[in-house]
Amino acid sequence: MYDLGVINGRVFRNGRFSKLNVYTENGKIAYVGEEIQACEKTIDCENNMLLPGFIDPHVHFSLKVGEFVSADDFVTGSKTAAYGGITTFIDFLDPIVHEDELEKVLMARKEEAKDACVDYAFHATLGNFKGNTGKLVSLCRKHGISSIKVFTTYSESNRQCSYDVIEELMLKDITVVAHAEEDSLVDATWKDIKNFEKSRSIQAESTAVLKLCEIAERTRGKLYIVHVTAGTTVMLVARKYAKLLGEKIFLESCPHYFYLSSNIFNSKEGGLFLLNPPLREGKEINKMRKSIKSIHSIGTDHCPYMIAEKMKYDTADRVPKGIGGIENSFILMYNLFGNDIIPKFTSVPAKIFGLETKGAIEVGNDADLVIFNELVSNNIKETHSRCDYNVYAGLKVKGKLLATIIGGDLIVNRDEFFDRKGRFIERG
Ligand SMILES: [Zn+2]
């Protein structure tokens, strides 16, 4: 007898929907087919979509920057994630400058994450790395970490990693996750909130992105660029590196770069919207929407701070950077792109990041599922984040997430929450 039956869903597999029943056993998908099976508990999808659980490869829970800590810890962050259909997130380890520090930062972050209710993994993160990249990659692999984050900027906080180190990494068996902005073109001391966009220009982004792509082309390395902000950048990469895009070079963007424009910095509440890299003008949003085929994965860069913290200082250099969005991410992107967005939340990030048992409704995979009604209309309200404002509040969207199932556990069902423990996922 199966543990859970999720029946009468329009099941999304390989880009198509079929009317099927899914049964789980010991946290795994154990049957997908047309028959009705014996099981302990049944959820009826009532002909709504049944999708693989979503993956957010870019979040920052309990991120300490200066005097501030991001508003969501792993408990509240994973809860707001579950309400958004996110069943796996990838957060980051603290930056290290030598491979000897890896185990310590991994243990510390695992301890912080242990009460997360959804599954999780971590990218290793480098500061101004001075160690041995070969040893680092072996250590990461030993601990089930298949991606390393680097920054080409943030020299002011000693987090900038040299292009030489990045090139060494790309020659090895690991995915290089890059925050790409050319450091010499960034002004980290920028004070004017109204014109904050100018502190980190599109040119700063595209210059670093193209340099990294050139390294990836030369080394045949695997490169994943986080939070691309501008359609212009995406188009440049798509033109110059068409053959490598989706094979060796992957681009991530975030819902805010598709919805929010830099005009908002010029409002009374501009400070609430400050983040790095900044929002762009409306015309870039349009270009971004046109370039969706060249974007492989949607990360939220979820990193909100409380209103009082965002408004504490009135110069941009002192405002903590970051906004939330994990709970609304899928709905927002679904509203723009329909079913084409589903793989970018599921199978594609699973493949890029070695989440071997995630991203597809197939027997043997983790039983991570989302029931989604794409027809009902809603206004976005406050979320289950601890943060006291939502940058998307009031937006009218179509579609509602009805239920989230992780490892065969029903965690969210029609707005009700049932706590559980997530697992650290070792990646291949
Ligand atoms: Zn980030």
Give me ligand 1 centre to Cα 301, in Å: 5
**Element spanning 411, H or E:** strand 409-413
Give me ligand 1 centre to Cα 403, in Å: 27
Render pLDDT for 381-413 as a digit per residue (tens, 0 to 9): 989 999 999 999 999 999 999 999 999 999 999
DSSP at 220? T
- Looking at residue 279, its pLDDT comes to 98
- Looking at residue 204, its pLDDT comes to 97
- pLDDT-based confidence at residue 158 (cuts at 50, 70, 90): confident
- Looking at residue 13, its pLDDT comes to 97
Give me ligand 1 centre to Cα 380, in Å: 23
Provide mean pLDDT across the span 338-346.
98
- Looking at residue 255, its pLDDT comes to 98
> Model-level pTM?
0.98
- Looking at residue 11, its pLDDT comes to 98
Question: What's the longest Cα–Cα distance across the chain?
Answer: 63
Render pLDDT for 48-75 as a digit per residue (tens, 0 to 9): 999 999 999 999 999 999 999 999 999 9
- Looking at residue 315, its pLDDT comes to 96
Give me ligand 1 centre to Cα 57, in Å: 10
- Looking at residue 3, its pLDDT comes to 98
Give me ligand 1 centre to Cα 299, in Å: 9
Alpha carbon distances (Å) from 330 to 82, 111, 123, 223: 12, 28, 22, 24
Those residues whose C-beta lies under 8 Å from the C-beta of residue 22, and which sit 6 or more positions away, are 5, 6, 7, 9, 11, 29, 31, 32, 50, 361, 367, 369
Average pLDDT, the chain: 97
Give me ligand 1 centre to Cα 315, in Å: 21
On whether the CB atoms of residues 352 and 175 are closer than 8 A, the answer is yes
Q: In the chain, what are the domains?
A: 2-51+365-416 (2.30.40.10), 54-352 (3.20.20.140)
Provide mean pLDDT across the span 35-45.
98
- pLDDT-based confidence at residue 232 (cuts at 50, 70, 90): very high
Tally of CB atoms within 10 A around 17: 15
Pick from 377, 204, 226: nearest CA to 302: 226
Q: What distance lies between CA 303 and its chain's CA centroid?
A: 11
Those residues whose C-beta lies under 8 Å from the C-beta of residue 101, and which sit 6 or more positions away, are none
Classified as helix, coil or strand, 35 is coil
Tally of CB atoms within 10 A around 14: 10
On whether the CB atoms of residues 329 and 86 are closer than 8 A, the answer is yes
Give me ligand 1 centre to Cα 351, in Å: 20
On whether the CB atoms of residues 117 and 133 are closer than 8 A, the answer is no
- Looking at residue 18, its pLDDT comes to 98
Render pLDDT for 174-217 as a digit per residue (tens, 0 to 9): 999 999 999 999 999 999 999 999 999 999 999 999 999 999 99
Q: Please state whether beta strands 16-25 and 28-33 pair in parallel, antiparallel, or not at all (unpaired).
A: antiparallel
* One-letter amino acid of 6: V
Give me ligand 1 centre to Cα 130, in Å: 22
Q: Please state whether beta strands 147-151 and 249-253 pair in parallel, antiparallel, or not at all (unpaired).
A: unpaired
- Looking at residue 161, its pLDDT comes to 94
Give me ligand 1 centre to Cα 276, in Å: 8
Q: Produce one character per residue of 235-246: b if its CB has 16 or more CB atoms within 10 Å, e if not.
A: bbbbeebeebbe
Give me ligand 1 centre to Cα 59, in Å: 6
- Looking at residue 264, its pLDDT comes to 97
Give me ligand 1 centre to Cα 91, in Å: 9
Give me ligand 1 centre to Cα 190, in Å: 19
- Looking at residue 157, its pLDDT comes to 87
DSSP at 245? B
Give me ligand 1 centre to Cα 312, in Å: 22
Classified as helix, coil or strand, 91 is strand
- Looking at residue 410, its pLDDT comes to 98
Give me ligand 1 centre to Cα 300, in Å: 8
CA distance 13 to 344: 13
CA distance 74 to 52: 22
Give me ligand 1 centre to Cα 149, in Å: 10
Provide mean pLDDT across the span 279-286.
98
On whether the CB atoms of residues 138 and 164 are closer than 8 A, the answer is no
Give me ligand 1 centre to Cα 287, in Å: 22
Give me ligand 1 centre to Cα 10, in Å: 34
Give me ligand 1 centre to Cα 153, in Å: 13
Give me ligand 1 centre to Cα 31, in Å: 37
Classified as helix, coil or strand, 346 is coil
